Structure 1
Amino acid sequence: MTPAGFEAGQGRTRPVWDERARLAALDSYAILDTPPERAFDEVVRLAAQICDAPVALVSLVAGDRQFFKAELGIGVRQTPLEVSICAHAILRPGLFVVPDTAEDPRFAGNPLVCGSPHLRFYAGALLETAEGLPLGTLCVLDYVPRPEGLTAQQGFALQVLARQVMSQLELRRALKAREEDAARLAESERQFRVLADSMPQMVWATQPDGYHDYYNRRWYEFTGVPDGSTDGEGWNGMFHPEDQERAWIRWRHSLATGEPYEVEYRLRRADGVYRWTLGRALAVRDAGGRIVRWFGTCTDIEEQKQTEERLRSSEERLRLALGAAEMVGTWVWDVGTNRITADSGYARLFSVAPEAVAEGLPIEMLLPAIHPEDLPATEVAINRALAGEHDGVFEAEYRVLLRDGTIRWVNARGRCEHDATGRPTRFPGVVMDITERKQAEEGKELLARELSHRIKNIFTVVGGMVSISAAGAPAEVRSFAGVFRRRLNALAAAHEYVRPHSPESRPVAIETTLHGLLGTLLAPYEEAGAERVRLGGDDAPIGVKAATSLALIVHELATNAAKYGALAATEGRVTIAGERRDGNFALTWQERGGPPVEGPPQRRGFGTVLAERGAITQLGGTVAHDWAREGLTLRLEVPLERLAH
């Protein structure tokens, strides 16, 4: 079947309408050069959302231009006809889709395609009169090609919305005809009722004095009241008691002045639930300016009100959060257009003008503020988020160079959002000044180094005193002194494990495996010719945090063994074995050959409690003791992933 206004020929359809008739039909709607209207604006917003498009238009093709009754994302109300894609769309029936305008010879040279705003995709549904005359299109556009075009659901929705636009145009024309020709009043009212009953909004009308005498079908479906029961002033009883007086005052004001009526109130639904509703009405005047009718609509805006309330709550929480920290900034990066927009806090941290970053800047203009030593690692973190690694989560700490020459440390966090194809689209985040925290950490590190240095000096002084004291002594004394010095040196090396380290201060020479850690810590207890400590089983990588906790545990075990356990006796031995078990690592410490064990100790020292608590809380592990008479056996089990931290 060939659509109205088109005929088949040579395998295609071609328009049969006359251009003069088409332009006359467009002129009859008196829509050109009229200001924006909410009904049309809502249609383009909905079309953009359904089709996931940044640009949507209600485009009307006139003789020498195309006029946009409603637009989203284009920023102008009209363009010359020679750059109009819609002028081509009205020559074909149904949906007109151009997957890639740059590849289509009809549009490849179009300034809007090859230049700003670089429109690469187009899909338009005809705005067609009942006589088959095309007035324009409801269209959506994108900055990137869409080889797949629209989905079936999107195409259907776009055509439905186009019919809604035509319904709005027809309503305007019906109202215009009512004002211009009273002899056509009955037919106009009939058309109005048909259109009104097809609209999703509740439509009503009143006499000039405000007496309600008409409601469309949607009103009765929503309220559930009998036909005619809300004529006159009965409508006000349908409002929430708290809103009735306010609605009356606003309605009386419009009746007295002729000004448009607009008010939000809660309207009782058929099930008794009150829902927020937007009521609007306009006066219809005759040629002499006298009001002859009021026409109004009621639109359910409950979801919008709930969304606004959630948004207000969210914004309030954000304001409180930002107010609690002076040097906090937020940003949003539109990856497709490469524009970062941010608030004044971000502008302060990156030494850029607030008005410039509020308008949006490319990322290349902001990266130079990052310290050159920190920039490569930061770019790697950004690229990983863009690639979708770790669900697009981004976190980095780096220094920024302010214009006054000062350097500040910041922590940046965000998450890159991706579309269904995995392409990065939107990248919001927050950046926080952590300079004071970094300075505090540096102070703690400096103090730790100073204390470590002094402890090492003590080891050195004691070792020197032993060497001086052993000089000239008998051979057995010198041998003892040598063993003692080696133990002091081993204790000094073990101290490097136990003391807190920052990533920068951790010595490269320190082993990064469990066996390396244990070998260093237990070296002071070895004796020449006697294997006092045996280390075996599985090995595993170990991180800085885990090494500190394990060093405290092993140091405490070795100290207690030297005082009371296996290492206190000449024949005593300690065996340490590691074993990987289903994502965990089990470490067994076993003492044999020492004094008989009389059961668990009556009192546990502070060091033991501290060490075991670290194993449980910091490593997420478990500790079990077996106080057998022949010697202590301790079993420590921790997750492998925590061991590597």
Structure 2
Amino acid sequence: MPAPWDDGARLRALDSYQVLDTPPERAFDDVVTLAAQICAAPVALVSLVAEDRQFFKAEVGLGVRYTPLDQSICAHAILRPGLFVVPDTTQDPRFRDNPLVTGSPHLRFYAGALLETPEGLPLGTLCVLDHVPRPEGLTAQQGFALQVLARQVMSQLELRRALQAREESAARLAESERQFRILADSMPQMVWATRPDGFHDYYNRRWYEFTGVPDGSTDGEAWNGMFHPEDQARARSRWQHSLETGEPYEIEYRLRRHDGVFRWTLGRALPVRDPQGRIIRWFGTCTDIEEQKQTGEKLRLSEERLRLALSASEMVGTWVWDVAANRITADPGYARLFSVTPEAVAEGLPIETLLPALHPEDRPATEAAIARALAGEQDGLFEAEYRVLLQGGETRWVAARGRCERDAEGRPTRFPGVVVDVTERRLAEEAKELLARELSHRIKNIFTVVGGMVSISAMGAAAEVRNFAGALRRRLNALAAAHDYVRPHSPESRPVDPETTLHGLLGKLLAPYGEVGSARVSLLGDDAPIGVRAATSLALILHELATNAAKYGALKGTEGRVTITGKRHDAHLALTWEERGGPAVEGPPTRRGFGTVLAERGAITQLGGSIAHDWARDGLTLRLQVPLERLAH
């Protein structure tokens, strides 16, 4: 008869117990001995039917541990539920030619009880055999006892599998811990971790290399003694605040290096929570920012020098262009920047003699700005920054500003303006941008490392911990995407449009849920510039809304849609998130998740705004109002 189960699944289940070809064990030997005594049988077996043989985990009276599958009576027994009895094997066409029947040991009687997994897959039988037929079979008591003992065999197999699984889980946890330590030790930052109460119990190798202290000497509260005396109270207070509130920890302090020198360090930490929202660990990093601090001081001094330079007359030049006569007259400051003599510009020069001093890459844009001013665009305003090539080969940056005046008929007449040498400012800005990109790169690395540590820490853990780790990792990815949008860490990651706006951020964050502008996700109304700080809070809010919409709301099915509308009003931007066409809403959620709480806190504390929910039956409507000034930070 055909098997009511898939044999591949049955064999995989058998392999999962890892019992084939294992040595005898007393727990199974005792079972077959008892079965033989109860059933008054000379032979009893715990028989497991493998792919090409039957293996006897325990046996009494047979003297072998396995036989070929074509000699197996048990292979037929597993095809039927309940107790399988063959009163006389010589009278059964399935077995009368079996070598075990026709030859030694001349088996004439068989009774077997299924060894069945909790999923209903038969692994084999607990069976008794006799050398003489038994037309009467087993008594009711013997049959019942054989089935009870078969269940005991399965209990032993389940216990064996559970113990093996626990051992394997311990090996996986140890490997996860080893991989985490390798990852943490390979980082350029100092990595540390604490218990929920803030007790420091882990530092990576970089910490000990930097500080030079013995392993374990800064566990507990001893870490604070590594800071500059002037920073210790502030650092302890900030850390205590994070422990009490669960807010992320961030501070700059001076950390003592192994040679006794104090270096400025950026300390950061994030809490890891269980599904109930309880903090179970803190993971933190310390990043040496001494060079950045020095660069910042250099930038400050450079800006001070720039202010002094701009106050000097030779750094500023004024000019007047008589458009009709095409003559530009200017002062000595202008003459120096355009490599002409003061006498020549005092007399007046055609504009064509001055334009060649512009850098070839900047000339087309500058000439276009002049043309727009001559055409009367923006009320004749002219603004441009470009490079000029001095006669000695030096290149200087110039900022020019002017306005084209017109006569009664609207024809351009007089075009006065001023030029300022802004080379020092441009160099300072380039240095500042380089620093910002470096910090952005490091911040993005930290997001990646923390996400990696969360993933590694969740390996081998319970399902609810893995789910929490996945949610935390997705929030970190949303923050990283928002951060890279408003503060690209490299020219390659910079957007085509240099201005970072709310619509741009929405497009970045909502891309996984459908193309913005499609039938599913609509973006309407006013746009507004956003800054680095605001982007972080907005990313959390929008990521949480999109995630919840995909799980429970309008983006869950194919018919739902989300409409996001921005509207400027006075000094505020009102952003409305409206979901329609999704599952019916039964009212506000009974439990507020960690992401929702974090998003609302960001809207209020970081953005200085307000947030309101309308849980209408036809879909959620969320209204967020934020001051435009805070949005641009």
What TM bracket, shorter-length normalisation? 0.3 to 0.5
TM-score, with normalisation over the residues of structure 1? 0.37
TM-score (norm 2): 0.38
